[in-house]
């Protein structure tokens, strides 16, 4: 795939412990970025569970995982020259997996089914970010819960790591671990479903970006499987996400 390169554009990665509300916040931020106007936006659902895809009301028939599995299946029994040719097709397959929408494109990681050593999942995701980011004004990644993708340097091109905290001890511990793995200068923390910044117990030198409030309408949409992009513009959680997005864009 394409060689890694430095990107001047904003590349945001939303991360945090499992259950912190990462996918919902990613969906709200994505809607906010589109409302504010930096287009086109590339959205990457890097969680194999595919939460962001459903949270914004999309469907992804092809994924990064299916591209990899397709190549592994085709490479079985192939000679060395044929395997080289197949590997060169990966860029095309990744581009083919993009879901196009008004002002945005979406890439879903998906679940890896086929076994084999061809581009392990997080390495493939890292290379896909390098390949795809160039033509977009902004990239937003809904990262897998936990620290695996950070540890695997999936975030090497990321300009801003956005960690979520719900004020729990596990959230605090996760954020402290993230500060040991990335430069705190590129980190920011969003409080999700908390009342005050004092509830977050932030590490020193980490920027506080804002709070997304607990919201009954978001809970209802999520329970019904409705797209969070259909929330009314005045929804408090979406309005709070818009304030965070403005801060990120103007940083």
* Cα–Cα distances in angstroms (integers) from residue 128 to residues 65, 77, 122, in the given order: 11, 26, 10
Residue 117 tokens read as 């050593």
Question: Does a structural domain hold residue 139?
Answer: yes
Question: Does a structural domain hold residue 70?
Answer: no
Task: Name the DSSP class of 24.
Answer: H
Cβ atoms of 75 and 160 within 8 Å: the answer is no
Cβ atoms of 231 and 35 within 8 Å: the answer is no
Question: Does a structural domain hold residue 92?
Answer: no
Q: What is the CATH number of the domain that holds 236?
A: 3.40.50.300
Question: Does a structural domain hold residue 170?
Answer: yes
Question: Does a structural domain hold residue 74?
Answer: no
Number of domains observed in the structure of the chain: 1
Question: Does a structural domain hold residue 75?
Answer: no
Q: What order do you get walking across the sheet with 187-192 strand by strand?
A: 99-101, 104-108, 41-45, 138-142, 11-15, 160-165, 187-192, 207-212
pLDDT of the chain, 251 residues: tens digit per residue? 433 344 468 999 999 888 899 999 999 999 999 999 878 999 999 887 778 999 999 988 888 877 777 776 765 655 555 555 555 667 777 788 889 999 999 998 887 555 554 455 667 777 778 778 888 999 999 988 766 666 555 656 788 999 999 989 999 898 888 888 888 888 999 999 998 888 888 888 889 999 999 999 999 999 999 999 999 999 999 999 999 999 999 87
Instruction: Give me the domain span that covers residue 150.
Output: 11-62+98-249
Question: Does a structural domain hold residue 87?
Answer: no
Residue 232 tokens read as 């009314």
Question: Does a structural domain hold residue 67?
Answer: no
């Amino acid at each position: 795939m394409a060689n890694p390169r430095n990107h001047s554009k904003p590349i945001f990665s939303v991360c945090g412990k499992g259950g912190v509300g990462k996918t919902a916040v990613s969906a709200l931020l994505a809607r906010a970025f589109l409302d504010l106007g930096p287009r086109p936006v590339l959205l990457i659902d890097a969680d194999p569970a595919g939460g962001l895809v459903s949270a914004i009301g999309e469907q992804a028939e092809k994924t990064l995982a299916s591209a990899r599995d397709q190549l592994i299946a085709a490479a079985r029994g192939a000679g060395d020259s044929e395997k080289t040719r197949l590997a060169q097709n990966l860029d095309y397959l990744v581009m083919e997996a993009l879901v196009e929408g008004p002002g945005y494109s979406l890439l879903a990681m998906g679940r890896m089914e086929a076994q084999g050593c061809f581009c392990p999942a997080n390495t493939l995701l890292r290379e896909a970010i390098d390949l795809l980011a160039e033509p977009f004004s902004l990239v937003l990644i809904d990262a897998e819960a936990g620290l695996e993708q950070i540890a695997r340097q999936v975030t090497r091109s990321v300009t801003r790591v956005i960690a979520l905290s719900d004020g729990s001890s596990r959230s605090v511990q996760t954020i402290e671990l993230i500060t040991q793995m990335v430069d705190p200068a590129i980190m920011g923390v969003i409080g999700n479903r908390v009342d005050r910044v004092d509830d977050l117990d932030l590490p020193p030198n980490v920027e506080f970006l804002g709070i997304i409030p607990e919201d009954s309408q978001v809970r209802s949409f999520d329970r019904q499987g409705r797209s969070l992009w259909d929330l009314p513009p005045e929804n408090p959680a979406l309005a709070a996400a818009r304030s965070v997005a403005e801060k990120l864009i103007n940083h």
